[in-house]
Structure 1
Amino acid sequence: MTDVSRLPGSAHHHWQWQLRAACRDLGPGRFYHPAGERGEDREERDAAAKRVCGGCPVRAACLDHALRTREPYGVWGGLTEEERRALARRRVTAGASTGR
């Protein structure tokens, strides 16, 4: 479940970036895998989602949102949930090694 305590709030300007998202009118099926999806089917769905993200003008904002809220599912900002978790771990490790 998304950590809603980290959501930026209801202020309109916090969500404005979503209006320019390349995925806005595509529906969630391309970005969230069905329960139990594995292997080639999942890889193909992820690749299709990442192609949409690749040309998105708000990809960085989307990824930032997913990382801040610890979005547990789907492709956000061009990264799968597993890729986002790995990125978050690397950031924590890098922060620890730099004293941040």
Structure 2
Amino acid sequence: MKFIFFLLFLLTFSIHTYPQSAPVIRMRCYATISENQALWIVVLKKKSYILNHSPERLIRPETVEEIKILKNAEATALYGVRAVNGVVVVTIKKSKSREEYKRLKTYFEKA
């Protein structure tokens, strides 16, 4: 009788602990990493936004106050994997920020 209980215990333990089939693992990503483009960040007053669609065409030169270029570890530390190819931080003049926000808000993604 003890042998039967021991055998049942052993079978139950081995089935639950060591499954006979491999688990199915599915990885899903929100977005893919872009090919070789830098991440463009637009700073309006004190808020920063990611500009995705052809940023070099959308930004008006007369509204730009400052441009910073971040590379390597500094960019990746601040903005993560999306900044592997570098970051271009464009600061817009405070007097033009409201106008530029209205014009570009359809292209922005919150940073």
TM-score normalised to the size of structure 1?
Answer: 0.22
TM-score normalised to the size of structure 2?
Answer: 0.21
The structure with the greater share of residues assigned to helix is 1
The structure with the greater share of residues assigned to strand is 2
